[in-house]
């Protein structure tokens, strides 16, 4: 029997696929990082399962998280998006998605989103060695630093807890427990491509 992190429900195929194929795998592509950062912000106050089940809807509504296209959305278009049942229809979160896209574009004059995010951990994933999921923190000093940097750059819905969940999902930290079959596989992906 395959051993996974305890947060993965044993009969939830969506969660299993997400855990086994995506969660914790170091991610360097700007658009995918931006998508994940926006989805983690959308998740605030909700379960990740809720967002994961709507991810394709988010991709359709938000132009596959293309920052250039999202940055151009006007308020009327965002108001129309708020009527779409494929996403969580929270006004602040929907408008933050556009604002975050604009922040990504502004950031490009100095660095890349990937470079900014990975710089927080020195360009390579932090390799943790948790025995149980109870040991895993909800935030760290690195997440607090990332949150501060992103907020200063105009990003919204990027508090320390959201940033740490993002760091886990994007493989900026390896928080698979050591008994999980993905722990060693993800741990081998340690060189930054940012």
Dump the DSSP string for 145-171.
Answer: HHHHHHHHTT--S--HHHHHHHHHHTT
H-run or E-run covering 97: helix 91-107
Write down the pLDDT at residue 3.
95
Concerning whether 118 is annotated as a catalytic residue, the answer is no
Catalytic choice (15, 23, 30, 40): 40
- 192 pLDDT band, cuts 50/70/90, is very low
Q: How many whole angstroms separate alpha carbon 5 and alpha carbon 20? A: 10
The pLDDT score that the predictor gives to residue 187 is 79
Helix, strand, coil percentages in the chain from 3-state DSSP, rounded to 5? 55, 0, 45
Model pLDDT, residue 162: 98
Taking only the tens place, the pLDDT of each residue in 11-65 is: 999 999 999 999 999 999 999 999 999 999 999 999 999 999 999 999 999 999 9
**DSSP string computed for 21-56:** HTTT-----HHHHHHHHHHHHHHTTS-HHHHHHHHH
Average pLDDT, the chain: 95
Q: Would you say 87 and 56 are in contact if contact means Cβ atoms under 8 Å apart?
A: no
pLDDT band at 1 (very low <50, low <70, confident <90, very high): confident
Q: How confident is the model at residue 7 (pLDDT cuts 50, 70, 90)?
A: very high
CATH superfamily of 13-187: Hypothetical protein; domain 2 (1.10.340.30)
Joined tokens for residue 148: 């501060």
Q: Does residue 40 have an active-site annotation?
A: yes
In which band, very low, low, confident or very high, does the pLDDT at 194 lie, cut at 50, 70 and 90?
A: very low
pLDDT digits (tens, 9 = 90+) for 155-173: 999 999 999 999 999 999 9
Compute the average pLDDT of residues 176-191.
85
Is residue 188's pLDDT more than 90? no
The partner residues of 65 in beta bridges, in order of sequence, read none
Of 22, 48, 72, 185, the catalytic one is 48
Domain parsing of the chain, residue ranges: 13-187
Task: Tell the burial category of 67 from Cβ atoms under 10 Å away from its Cβ (0-12, 13-18, 19+).
Answer: buried
Phi, psi of 86 (to 5 degrees): -75, -10
pLDDT digits (tens, 9 = 90+) for 90-137: 999 999 999 999 999 999 999 999 999 999 999 999 999 999 999 999
Per-residue CA distances from 57 to 48, 50, 87, 139, 148 (Å): 15, 12, 6, 28, 30
Q: How far apart are CA 160 and CA 163, in angstroms?
A: 5
Distance, CA of 176 to CA of 24 (rounded, Å)? 7
Rounded average pLDDT over 135-163 = 98
Confidence band, pLDDT 50/70/90 cuts, at residue 148: very high
Quote the tokens at residue 9. Answer: 């429900």
**Is 183 marked active-site?**
no
Query: Which position has the token pair 């740490």?
Result: 164
Q: What is the pLDDT of residues 67-93, one digit of tens each?
A: 999 999 999 999 999 999 999 999 999
């Amino acid at each position: 029997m395959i051993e996974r992190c305890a947060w993965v429900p044993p009969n939830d195929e969506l969660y299993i696929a997400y855990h086994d194929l995506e969660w914790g795998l170091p991610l360097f592509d700007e658009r995918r990082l931006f998508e994940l950062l926006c989805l983690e912000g959308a998740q605030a106050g909700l379960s990740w399962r809720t967002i994961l089940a709507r991810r394709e809807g988010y991709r359709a509504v938000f132009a596959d998280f293309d920052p250039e296209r999202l940055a151009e959305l006007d308020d009327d278009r965002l108001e129309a998006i708020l009527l779409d049942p494929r996403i969580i229809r929270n006004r602040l979160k929907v408008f933050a998605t556009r604002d975050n896209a604009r922040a990504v574009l502004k950031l490009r004059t100095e660095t890349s989103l990937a470079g900014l995010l990975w710089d927080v951990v020195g360009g390579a994933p932090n390799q943790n060695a948790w025995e149980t999921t109870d040991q895993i923190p909800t935030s760290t000093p690195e997440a607090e630093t990332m949150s501060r940097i992103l907020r200063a750059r105009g990003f919204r819905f990027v508090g320390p807890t959201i940033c740490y969940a993002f760091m886990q999902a994007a493989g900026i930290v390896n928080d698979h427990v050591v008994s999980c079959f993905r722990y060693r596989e993800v741990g081998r992906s340690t060189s930054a491509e940012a």
